[in-house]
Chains A and B, each alone.
Chain A
Amino acid sequence: MSISLEEVRHVARLARLKLTADEEARFAPQLANIIDYLGMLQELNTDNVPTTSQVTGLTNVTRADIISCAPRQDELLACSPLPKEDHQLLVPSVFS
């Protein structure tokens, strides 16, 4: 099981990474090498093994429905590199 150049291009697009020809040439064999290594897990039989997503064993961690947000919207908006119009961020048109 290894990763082809086509697949490298596909995952790069999915992840919104545009690779230069140079990066493709560099990354493709590196990723193939890594993916090959990761393939060693296939030798283990895990048919009856449950998955682990979290290790804390916690369940039902919730909070009460009480409004208490610190008002710092302007400071947050100020972190954006984009121009602001009517207190909104202006991004390139989604319709173009």
Chain B
Amino acid sequence: MPTTYETIIGLEIHVQMNTKTKLFCTCDNDSFNKEPNTNVCEVCMGFPGTLPVTNKEAIEKGIISGLALNCTIPSTCKFDRKHYFYPDLPKGFQITQYDEPIAINGHIEITIDSKKKIIGIERLHLEDDAGKLIHANSGTLVDYNRSGTPLMEIVSKPDLRSKEEASAYARSVQQIMRFVGSSDADMEKGMMRFDLNISLRPVGSEKLGNKVEVKNLNSFRSLEKAITFEIERQTKMLEENDTIKKETRGWDAEKEISESQRSKEEAADYRYFPEPDIPPIHIDSAWSEDLKNKIPELPQAKQDRYRKVYAIDADHARIISEEFDLADFFEEMMDYTNAHFTATNLLVTDLLGMLNKEHQSITDTKIKPKQLAELANAINDNVLSTKMAKEVLPVMFETGKDPSTIIEEKGLKQVSDKHELEQICKKAIEAMPKAAEDIRNGNDKAIGALVGFVMKETKGQANPGKVNQILLSLLRH
């Protein structure tokens, strides 16, 4: 019987912080779409004699992010220098946190197939980013705009066991960073990057296999593809009794393969030592408590609350809780309606669908939460049929008008008046004696034709449920 293997995954996630200035100098931290080397100064270009001065906002956002990941904030953290030579690294060292990071020992909860799992977080530390290298025909071009941008490196414990878990974890970290406001975590702008640590071991074995590190994963897709690729590659090697080397591999997003990074002539030796130019940071409990109070409710907590309080569908709760503004819209809408299920449906299925089509987000819509709640109420109170509601919503989307105004303008009111409906039902029975006879004989299927007649007569404004009731009572008595 072939051996089955268990996959052990740990993720290092680099998240760019959204402070106004860089980590150690006062340059603009937003270099998106800026001309190369225009967002630089002597400090972030590592010029002689320059010194770093720490951005307080970055420290605070680091603490907040750590707390949101359920980390402990040690009373002291410090910066260290990590040395290597590369053209994008102006000082010849990166300022990072080696043995005393700003946050340690955290965890987050992920949900896979409605099962919850806790993923441990080893640490979160702050560091400055390097510049950007662009390959050209004539050589490599260096742009230092990104140099000095504050990064958080979030290191998970090797608790992830599958592509799905890794992806869910990474997405959850992304949401949390967005929710606490420490990063826009926009993958397309390179604000989030992954390094993957992955090894296999026979199921039941306690011993960890040799760890392979895959670098340069810039999207969720690459992350997932890289895991699939590595599982296949390593499984094959194990089956062929090859030894898996402990190594660093690079991800080629185009070919969708990982490649061994040319075996370096020497082992990396970063020669860390405490950064002498930056005094250590002491974080007392008053400071971290104060910051803790600023943390909004996080997606997982929101999701749990929505399911509990509004009894909505799990998928809907997840979708809504993932986006801060959407959750805000949802909560405001819920203040105006008891039709929780209907309103949520309108929001997630209909409104989000329309927004997606237009490549817009919830903040772009003209529809107010209260208006969508009114539409849900109209359906629930049988003022409108679901079908009619679907005529009203696009007009709301287009104009931002109240549903009541649109209903009036369109004369869309559902006919629910019993007397009125009875008259039309009698007309239907007269017009379709065969169908009426069938029903009298117990063949309920025939009722469809009669209902159809009534709907046609009322231009679709009759309440179909009521029509059904009336027809049955007229024919069975």
Residues on A lying within 8 angstroms of B by beta carbon are 10, 13-14, 16, 53-54, 56, 58-70, 72-73, 76-77, 79, 85-95
Contacts and interface: CB of A to CB of B under 8 A. Distances in A.
B41 A56 contact: no
Contacts of B78: 53
B143 A62 contact: no
Given A76-B45, A77-B37, A87-B37, A93 B56 contact: no
A79 B41 CA distance: 13
Contacts of B138: 85, 90
Contacts of A70: 41
A70 B41 CA distance: 7
A67 B26 contact: yes
A34 B406 CA distance: 90
Given A69-B41, A87-B36, A60 B269 contact: no
Interface in B115-153: 133-136, 138-143
B27 A69 contact: yes
Majority SS of interface residues in chain B?
loop
A93 B140 contact: yes
Nearest to A76: B45
Contacts of A92: 139-140
Contact of B35 (A79, A87, A91): A87
A13 B85 CA distance: 11
B278 interface: yes
A60 B102 CA distance: 13
A77 B142 CA distance: 11
A70 to B, nearest CB: 7
Residue of B138, B278, B279 with most partner-chain A CB within 10 A: B279
A89 B53 contact: no
B271 A14 contact: yes
Interface stretch (B3-11, B17-25, B196-204, B237-245): B17-25
A88 to B, nearest CB: 4
Given A63-B54, A76-B42, 14 more contacts: A10-B266, A62-B55, A62-B56, A64-B56, A65-B55, A69-B41, A72-B42, A73-B40, A76-B37, A76-B41, A77-B37, A87-B35, A87-B38, A93-B140
Given A16-B85, A60-B279, A93-B135, A73 B38 contact: yes
Nearest to B132: A88
A3 to B, nearest CB: 15
B165 interface: no
Contact of A85 (B45, B141, B279): B141
A52 B447 CA distance: 91
B274 A53 contact: yes
Contacts of A73: 37-41
28 contacts: A10-B266, A13-B266, A14-B269, A54-B274, A58-B279, A59-B282, A61-B53, A62-B53, A62-B281, A65-B21, A66-B21, A67-B26, A67-B27, A67-B28, A73-B37, A73-B40, A76-B37, A76-B47, A85-B138, A88-B37, A88-B143, A89-B142, A90-B140, A91-B140, A91-B141, A91-B142, A93-B140, A94-B140
Contacts of A87: 35-38, 143
Contacts of A56: 279
B218 to A, nearest CB: 17
Nearest to B273: A53
**Which 8 pairs from chain A and chain B are nearest by CB?**
A65-B57, A62-B56, A88-B141, A58-B279, A53-B274, A69-B41, A89-B142, A68-B26
